[in-house]
Amino acid sequence: VTLLAEDGTAVGTLPKSEVHTTDTPLHLAFSCYVLDPAGRLLLTRRSLAKRTWPGVWTNSFCGHPRPDEQMTDAVRRHGLDELGIALSDVRLAIPEYRYRAVDASGIVENEICPVHVATIDGRPAANPAEVSEWIWVDVSALSEAITHAPFAFSPWLVEQLPLLRTLGEV
């Protein structure tokens, strides 16, 4: 995982297994929102084996680029690894998204996390180590659910979805 200075410049690396702790350093990640041809969003439920926010509903997938890996390549790689999907039309929607959140166990997420949107025409085949469930949802219905029960969703989804809707990306 690429470690970052406050200004976003790379300052080193750590193995992924050592990054997420109660004092997580700022690092590089990404989020991806996958749409089908009908405009529905692929919503996933994080595996119960995940270290942070296990069992929580979230965006299609997230990940960390390898050091020196192009971001779009990392997004495509994670799409295949986590959901068995080949992405088309991968585009950067929110380049400078950053957040810090602490889950119930005390583990911290502290990321500069560019947000991408992509499309697929097909059915996911989720990796159970990453995703326990998935569903195609109407974005308006998801926004309504987040308004009434934000605790059921990842904190980054709660923040990112309204931004993507404002930009007309979803």
Averaged pLDDT, 156-161: 98
What is the residue-wise DSSP string for 22-52? TTPPPEE-EEEEEE-TTS-EEEEEE-TT-SS
Question: CA of 55: how far to CAs of 88, 99, 100, 133, 151, in Å?
Answer: 27, 20, 19, 9, 12
Residues 82, 109, 111, 159: which is the catalytic one? 111
Given a cut of 90, whether residue 121 has pLDDT beyond it is no
Based on the residue annotation, tell me whether 62 is a catalytic residue of this protein. Answer: yes
* Residue from 111, 105, 115, 125 nearest 21 by CA: 105
pTM of the model: 0.96
Q: Write out pLDDT tens, residues 90-119.
A: 999 999 999 999 999 999 999 999 999 999
Catalytic residue among 62, 82, 113, 130: 62
- pLDDT digits 0-9 by tens, 62-98: 999 999 999 999 999 999 999 999 998 999 999 999 9
Can 111 be counted among the known catalytic residues?
yes
Give the burial class of 32: count Cβ atoms within 10 A of its Cβ; 0-12 exposed, 13-18 middle, 19 or more buried.
buried
